[in-house]
């Protein structure tokens, strides 16, 4: 990147977004890390103002373009597998009002993507006990609240077909192993029931920021119909 490019913010944002999209699509980098590495790759140690950097919506658009160009033969099938797994998990967690968020919802998921769920429940302890009683071993951490109000308890584990105890899960596990080669990470953020009222938001492109079980089923059905 030349010094001249620093006088052209549009071009700079485009090039950083394209470089970040490659890292996300090929390596599974998160958006913040990819943006930071892409800026360093193009600019070296030069400092650049935040307003010169692409936002996540711009990077996501480049991810979609990259996948359409280089992975159109494999990415849709991987996305469908991950959505099928998300549906199985959401069905089992139905009593805790689960919603899907992230790349598996917005359609940019790859073999590197994890499944992110948000549950809105009267008691986080009940959701934790539900998984323990189902024999799911998980790690507990904290995730940032979607509204910026502190942190929420998050349960994370690698899915290998062990849950839920259903034939569909065991069959899907074989397909996932064949397509991805590695277990899928599942992360369940546990919110208070009252938080659900503030959760129905859209992103900058007008798409829903989260989707309930019925909506995810519809997404999978629409994709099947298109194929």
Give the domains, in start order, of the chain with CATH numbers. Answer: 3-70 (no CATH), 75-226 (3.30.460)
Measured N-to-C along each axis, helices 213-226 and 75-92 cross at an angle, to the nearest 10 degrees, of: 150
Which pLDDT score, from 0 to 100, does residue 227 have?
62
- The segments of the chain whose pLDDT lies below 70 read 1-7, 49-50, 199-206, 223-227
pTM above 0.85, yes or no: yes
């Amino acid at each position: 990147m030349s010094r001249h490019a620093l006088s052209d913010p549009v071009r700079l944002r485009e090039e950083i977004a394209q470089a970040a999209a490659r890292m996300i699509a090929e390596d599974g980098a998160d958006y913040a890390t990819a943006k930071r590495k892409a800026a360093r790759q193009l600019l070296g140690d030069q400092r650049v103002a935040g307003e010169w950097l692409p936002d996540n919506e711009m990077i996501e658009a480049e991810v979609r373009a990259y996948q359409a160009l280089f992975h159109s033969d494999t990415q849709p099938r991987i996305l469908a597998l991950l959505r099928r797994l998300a549906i199985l998990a959401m069905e089992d967690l139905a009593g805790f009002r689960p919603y899907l968020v992230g790349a598996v919802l917005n359609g940019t998921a790859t073999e590197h993507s994890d499944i992110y769920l948000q549950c809105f429940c009267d008691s986080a302890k009940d959701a934790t006990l539900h998984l323990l009683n189902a024999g799911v071993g998980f790690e507990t951490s904290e995730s940032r609240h979607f509204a910026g109000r502190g942190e929420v308890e998050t349960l994370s584990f690698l899915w290998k077909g062990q849950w839920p105890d259903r034939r569909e899960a065991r069959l899907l596990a074989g397909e996932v192993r064949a397509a991805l080669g590695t277990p899928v990470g599942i992360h369940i953020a546990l919110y208070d029931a009252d938080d659900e009222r503030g959760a129905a938001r859209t992103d900058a492109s007008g798409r829903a920021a989260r989707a309930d079980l019925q909506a995810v089923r519809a997404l999978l059905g629409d994709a099947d119909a298109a194929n």
